[in-house]
């Protein structure tokens, strides 16, 4: 059974899920009512530098959004053509030397100059030497605004087509790492080198596999024309202004996650269906997927079992089929994942039980990372394994499971403590940030003070207040559970205080009070 693309439209919310044999390979969601003018990944703006921070080697750029965009020095510096070639050559030599020392194969070529920059081969330039306040520059959104952070932008513009990614400011030829066949990789490189002009770059996307020179050339010509239009608009408008808006949500989903393996596209909106059919006729003529309108009784995501998977993804705890579980905690700094055997006791030895649980957890972890769109630093705490071959088996299984992920990942081997450190590129908000809000009760901590703790706080304040006040009556207003404890378990002590200080203490329960909230009159 091939892949299916399920598209749901609810008022101004659009959801897309790519599924295969009941498993969600990709899930995207966008809510248009939030802010139509919010910067989206891929949008290009003519911005104005409002502040340069030498101490942080970064700058803030006004792109017309409520919060200034953040521009780091590595994203701001545009190397000359000679510098680019020198950077890439140094990086390649470093990779070959490292691979030789470790007895490994030479890794795939870098997909962009940015990866060479990440390896610290960029010339040591200071941002204040080439960027000043008031400068007007073209920037592209690399990361959308997340929480209280503004968008992150780059000057290294890329334009994505159906089969290739065009880099007008970076000279490079690359092929998607997902294309494994060496002959096909060489064929694509030769085509791309014959297509591109000096000083620009092209990367063949995964869907370029098997495509002809004519198809790739057509895609390239379209992107070159688009870039000229972007440049012209950038010259004509005054900063800050938007010079290029990427495709709408559904069109991006069709371009980025739809391939020849998708056999059916199911949508529950007639207007969205027309957009899809028109877009596919113009840009995705090679895809033979049938577009179907869904009008079943149950909601479309419920019918295909997607809603229940999303509910699982909103929970901190995910149970495994064997009885084990994984706990996923997302914080500002990192995502921590803890693997537990739970009820699973195995049939043979403890070591085999641990291995089986860890291997099962690997598949679920890779799945949940995609579904939740977790990004940044991720720490996985596997159950400790005694045998080296078991640790290697779990590590290799994790690498294999992550191959389905469209986002770039970098995974370090399992440490002696059973931990895996990895990073996953994130450009958009996580599922929980989109679908959930901070709990007004616990204010995002996940915990509240116990009834006993609040009761003792009240008693301490009463003991401090009674000797000082001239009033004869003290009233306590609190949550019903706190009031109940004061009226039962603590009533004897409160009566003693009344006799000692010749005061009257009354306790009032109020459902409107937070469990930690109380007032003493």
In a domain, 143, yes or no: yes
Note whether 75 and 141 are within 8 A (CB). Answer: no
Question: How far is residue 407 CA from its own chain's centroid?
Answer: 9
Q: Identify the residue whose tokens are 């897309």.
A: 16
What pLDDT does residue 108 have? 43
Strand partners, 334: 377
**Separation of alpha carbons 144 and 345, rounded Å:** 45
User: Do 334 and 470 reside in the same domain of the chain?
Assistant: no
Domain-terminating residue out of 271, 288, 311: 311
- C-alpha dihedral sign at 58, 373, 369, 257: negative
For residue 508, the domain's CATH number is: 3.40.1260.20
User: Do 56 and 194 reside in the same domain of the chain?
Assistant: yes
**Separation of alpha carbons 151 and 139, rounded Å:** 11
Residue 103 scores a pLDDT above 60: no
For the ranges 5-19, 100-114, 302-316, 444-458, the lowest mean pLDDT is seen at 100-114
In a domain, 258, yes or no: yes
Could you report the per-residue pLDDT of 347-397, keeping only the tens digit for each? Answer: 567 888 888 999 999 999 999 999 898 988 999 999 988 888 999 999 999
Burial class from Cβ neighbours inside 10 Å (0-12, 13-18, 19+) for residue 191 reads buried
For residue 377, the domain's CATH number is: 3.40.630
User: Do 271 and 158 reside in the same domain of the chain?
Assistant: no
| Range(s) of the domain holding residue 339 | 314-435
In a domain, 282, yes or no: yes
User: Do 350 and 291 reside in the same domain of the chain?
Assistant: no
User: Do 80 and 228 reside in the same domain of the chain?
Assistant: yes
In a domain, 440, yes or no: no
In a domain, 88, yes or no: yes
Q: 491-501 and 451-465 helices cross at what angle (nearest 10)?
A: 10
Sheet with 504-509: list strands edge to edge: 504-509, 473-478, 518-520
**Separation of alpha carbons 15 and 18, rounded Å:** 10
Could you report the per-residue pLDDT of 207-254, keeping only the tens digit for each? Answer: 888 888 998 998 899 899 999 999 999 999 998 999 998 888 888 888
For residue 27, the domain's CATH number is: 3.30.420.140
- How many domains in the chain? 4
Residue 181 scores a pLDDT above 90: no
Long-range contacts from 409-417, C-beta under 8 angstroms, 24+ separation: 414/382, 414/385, 417/384
In a domain, 424, yes or no: yes
**Separation of alpha carbons 15 and 29, rounded Å:** 4
**Separation of alpha carbons 94 and 301, rounded Å:** 48
**Cα 501–Cα 506–Cα 508 angle in degrees, nearest 5:** 155
**Separation of alpha carbons 262 and 176, rounded Å:** 19
For residue 152, the domain's CATH number is: 2.40.50.140
| CA distances for 56 relative to 151, 338, 436, angstroms | 17, 34, 33
User: Do 239 and 211 reside in the same domain of the chain?
Assistant: yes
In a domain, 224, yes or no: yes
**DSSP letters along 333-366, please?**
SEEEEEEE-TT---SS-HHHHHHHHHHHHHHHHH
User: Do 110 and 237 reside in the same domain of the chain?
Assistant: yes
Q: In this structure, are strands 334-340 and 325-330 parallel, antiparallel, or unpaired?
A: antiparallel
User: Do 299 and 344 reside in the same domain of the chain?
Assistant: no
User: Do 271 and 321 reside in the same domain of the chain?
Assistant: no
User: Do 143 and 237 reside in the same domain of the chain?
Assistant: yes
Note whether 452 and 460 are within 8 A (CB). Answer: no
Could you report the per-residue pLDDT of 72-99, keeping only the tens digit for each? Answer: 998 998 888 887 777 777 767 766 666 5
């Amino acid at each position: 059974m091939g892949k299916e693309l399920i598209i749901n439209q609810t008022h101004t919310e659009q959801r897309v899920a790519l599924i295969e044999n009941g498993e969600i390979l990709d899930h995207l969601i966008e809510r248009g009512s939030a802010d139509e003018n919010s910067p989206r990944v891929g949008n290009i703006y003519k911005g104005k530098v409002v502040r340069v921070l030498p101490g942080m080697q970064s700058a803030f750029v006004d792109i017309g959004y409520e919060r200034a965009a953040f521009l780091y020095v590595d994203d701001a510096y545009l190397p000359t053509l000679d510098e680019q070639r020198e950077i890439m050559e140094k990086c390649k030599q470093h990779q070959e030397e490292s691979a030789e020392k470790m007895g490994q194969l030479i890794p795939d070529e870098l997909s962009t100059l940015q990866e060479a920059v990440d390896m610290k081969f960029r010339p040591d330039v200071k941002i204040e030497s080439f960027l000043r306040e008031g400068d007007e520059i073209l920037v592209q959104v690399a990361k959308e605004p997340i929480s209280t952070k503004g968008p992150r932008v780059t000057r290294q513009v890329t334009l994505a087509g159906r089969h290739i990614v065009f880099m007008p400011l970076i000279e490079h030829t690359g092929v998607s790492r997902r294309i494994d066949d060496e002959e096909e990789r060489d064929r694509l490189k030769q085509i791309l080198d014959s297509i591109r002009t000096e000083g620009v770059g092209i990367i063949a996307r995964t869907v370029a596999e098997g495509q002809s020179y004519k198809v790739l050339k057509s895609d390239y010509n379209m992107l070159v024309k688009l870039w000229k239009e972007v440049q012209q608009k950038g010259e004509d408008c005054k900063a800050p202004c938007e010079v290029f808006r990427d495709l709408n949500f559904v069109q991006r989903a069709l371009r980025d996650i739809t391939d020849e393996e998708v056999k059916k596209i199911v949508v529950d909106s007639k207007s969205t269906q027309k957009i899809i059919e028109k877009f596919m006729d113009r840009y995705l003529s090679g895809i033979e997927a049938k577009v179907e309108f869904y009008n079943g009784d149950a909601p479309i995501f419920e019918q295909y079992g997607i809603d229940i998977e999303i509910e699982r993804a909103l929970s901190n705890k995910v149970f495994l089929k064997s009885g084990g579980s994984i706990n996923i905690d997302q914080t500002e700094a990192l995502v921590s994942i803890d693997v537990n055997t739970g009820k699973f006791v195995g049939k043979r030895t403890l070591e085999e039980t641990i291995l089986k649980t860890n291997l099962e957890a690997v598949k679920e972890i890779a799945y949940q990372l995609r579904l939740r769109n977790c990004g940044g630093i991720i720490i996985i705490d596997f159950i400790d394994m005694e045998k080296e071959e078991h640790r290697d088996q779990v590590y290799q299984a994790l690498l294999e499971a992550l191959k389905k992920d469209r986002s770039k990942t970098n995974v370090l081997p399992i440490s002696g403590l059973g931990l895996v450190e990895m990073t996953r590129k994130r450009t958009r908000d996580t599922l929980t940030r989109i679908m959930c809000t901070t709990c007004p009760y616990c204010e995002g901590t996940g915990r509240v003070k116990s009834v006993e703790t609040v009761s003792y706080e009240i008693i301490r304040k009463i003991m401090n207040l009674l000797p000082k006040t001239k009033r004869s009556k003290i009233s306590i207003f609190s949550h019903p559970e706190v009031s109940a404890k004061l009226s039962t378990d603590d009533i004897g002590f409160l009566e003693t205080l009344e006799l000692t200080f010749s005061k009257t203490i009354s306790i009032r329960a109020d459902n409107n009070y937070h469990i930690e909230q109380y007032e003493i009159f």
